[in-house]
Amino acid sequence: MSNLQRNLRPVRTWAGFLLLVPILIAADTRPVNAQPRKAPPYTIEEVREFFTPVWSVVSLEYVDLFVADRNRAHPAGIQRLVTFLDETIELFPDPRALREELRRRKIRYYFCLSAKEVHLLGGMDAEGAAVLTERAVVTRWLPHEHELVHILVDIVARTNGRQTEPVLQEGLASALGGRRSLAPAALLHEGEVVLSRRQVQPDRLWTYRDFHFYAESGPSYAAAGRLVQFLLATRGMERFLTLYNLLSATDEVLAKRPEAAVMTQIHGVYGQPWRELRDEFQRWRKENPTRWITPAPQPSRLPDLIVGDNGRRMLLWRQDDASLVIQLDGQGRLPEANVTWGDALPPEYRSRLDERTGATDQRRFGLRISPESVAVYDFALDVALARDDEMSSQGRGMPGAITLRLDPKLLVQMPPLEDPLMRAAPSFQR
C-alpha cells in the first residue's frame, strides 16, 4: 500500500478529494511555462491513483477515459477519440497486432479541467502530455490527438518511453494529430507558411538543439509536421519508423548528438543524402498545397443562398467541384463576422474556443472572418479545422467585401451551411 493510500484511506470520498485541494493549489500557481517546483511529498502515480476515483469513467475499446466533469466531455469528442484511434492505427505496419496490444492494455486518458490538474496528474507544466511509460494521456483536450500519436508510436516502435529526435517525434504527432487547438490540416498549413517565409529552415530541424531553438516561438512543430507528411507520403511509414528507432535515445544523448550522426542515419535508411531529400521536399510542397481556405473571384451566376442582417449579406455558391464560394459583404464596412451553424450544443457545455473567436451562439461549427484571419471551427472538439492568416487581405474584391473558397476536403467534415434540416441557417454575430 502506498504512503498516500495509507494516510488517506479512511476518506476516499469527496472529503478525501477536499484534502487534495491544498496539494492541487501547491502543485502550480505559476504560469504554465514556468520551471517545476521542488518535488511534492507523494509520487505522481500515487496522486493520480487517489485523485481519479471520484471522476466518471467511460470504458472504450482501446481507452479508459477518466472525466473530471461529464458536462465538459461532449459526445462528439468521445466519438472523435474512437474514430481517430481506428483511423490512425491503420496507418501503422501491423494494425491487427496494435489493436490486440491496446485491448490487452488500454490507454488511460485523463480529461482534466485545468492546467493545474494536468500538472498534478501528469507531473508536467503543459496543457497536455503523454506519459509513455504508463501508456497514459493527461490533458485538457478531448480528444488530444497529438498525444495519442505519441502513445501509439511508442508501442509500435517499441521505444519503451525513450525519446527520439524531436523533428520525428513531434513531427509525426503534428502531421497526424495536429496540436492543441489546431487540427492537422490547419497545423500543416501553418507549417507551410513558416517554411515559405523562411521562419524555419529545413536544415535546422534535425537536431535536438536546433528544433528546440525554433520551438520557443512555436513554428518548429508545424514545420516538422510538414516535413514528416512528406516522408510518409513518399517513403512510407515502415522506413520512417526505422529511422525513428535508430535515432531514439536518452535525453542526454539527444542533447549532445551531432548533426553529422543524424545525417548518416538518414542516408542509411533512405539511401540518399539529406540535401537530395531536401530538394525533393521543396518540389513536393509546391505540388501538394495545404490551403483549404483560398481567395476566389465572385461567380458570374446568381448565388444559391443569400443570408443577411444589419446591413450585411453572406452569399453562397455551390461549385461543380463540391467546393463552396462565400462572399461576405459588409456594405462598405470591414467584412467581419462570426457565422455559426449545425447542431446546437448542450446549454451546460462551453467550448474553450468561445473567448478566442468571439462566438456566443452555441452551435457546433463556426466561420470566423476578421481583418486578421479566416478560420473554420468545430466548437465541440475545440479545434480550428482550417485557418488562414492571409485570406482577409487576399480575398477582398470590392471595399468592405471578402470572397473566399472552402475546399471540399474541409466541407465533408460538417453539415452544409444552407441545410435547414441540420439547423444550419447561419447565425450572424458581431
Distance of CA 193 to the CA centre of its chain: 17
Q: Which residues contact residue 244 at a Cβ distance below 8 angstroms, ignoring those fewer than 6 apart?
A: 153, 157, 159, 164, 168, 169, 172
Local confidence band at 430 (pLDDT 50, 70, 90 cut-offs): very low
Rounded to whole angstroms, the Cα distance separating 20 from 4 reads 11
Q: Are residues 151 and 64 in the same domain?
A: yes
Query: What single DSSP character describes residue 295?
Result: E
Rounded to whole angstroms, the Cα distance separating 56 from 61 reads 17
* End position of a domain, from candidates 287, 306, 331: 287
Q: Are residues 151 and 119 in the same domain?
A: yes
Q: Are residues 129 and 236 in the same domain?
A: yes
Q: Are residues 253 and 307 in the same domain?
A: no
Q: Are residues 147 and 193 in the same domain?
A: yes
**SS3 for 385?**
strand
What confidence score (pLDDT) does residue 264 get? 97
Q: Are residues 238 and 321 in the same domain?
A: no
Summarised one tens digit per residue, pLDDT across range 154-189 is 999 987 778 999 999 999 999 999 998 899 999 999
Model-level pTM?
0.84
* End position of a domain, from candidates 267, 287, 307: 287
User: Among 19-28, 112-121, 401-410, which is the least confidently predicted range?
Assistant: 19-28
106 CB-contact burial (10 Å; exposed 0-12 / middle 13-18 / buried 19+): middle
What confidence score (pLDDT) does residue 33 get? 40
Cis bond upstream, residue 143 (ω within 30): yes
Please spell the DSSP secondary structure of 24-63, one letter per residue. Answer: HHHH--S-TTSPP-SPPSS-HHHHHHHHGGGSEEEE-SSE
Residue 399 has pLDDT above 70, yes or no: no
Q: Which residue from 22, 72, 76 is spatially nearest to 51, judged by alpha carbons?
A: 22
Sign of the Cα pseudo-torsion (64, 69, 75, 76, in order): negative
Q: Are residues 280 and 297 in the same domain?
A: no
Number of domains in the chain: 2
Q: Are residues 235 and 331 in the same domain?
A: no
| Strand runs labelled E in 221-330 | 293-295, 305-309, 312-318, 324-329
Residue 123 has pLDDT above 70, yes or no: yes
Rounded to whole angstroms, the Cα distance separating 342 from 421 reads 9
E strand or H helix at 140, and its extent? Answer: none
* End position of a domain, from candidates 254, 287, 320: 287
Q: Are residues 75 and 185 in the same domain?
A: yes
Rounded to an integer, the average pLDDT of 134-151 is 95
Q: What percent of the chain has pLDDT over 70?
A: 79
CB 114 within 8 A of CB 140: yes
Place of cell 540518399: 272
Place of cell 455559426: 340
379 vs 1, which has greater pLDDT?
Answer: 379
Q: Are residues 322 and 259 in the same domain?
A: no
Q: What residue type is assigned to position 23 of the chain? A: I
Q: Are residues 265 and 306 in the same domain?
A: no
Summarised one tens digit per residue, pLDDT across range 346-357 is 877 777 775 555
Torsion angles phi and psi, residue 246, rounded to 5? -60, -30
Q: What angle do CA 238, 241, 243 make, to 5 degrees?
A: 115
Domain extent for 381 = 293-429
Q: Are residues 301 and 277 in the same domain?
A: no
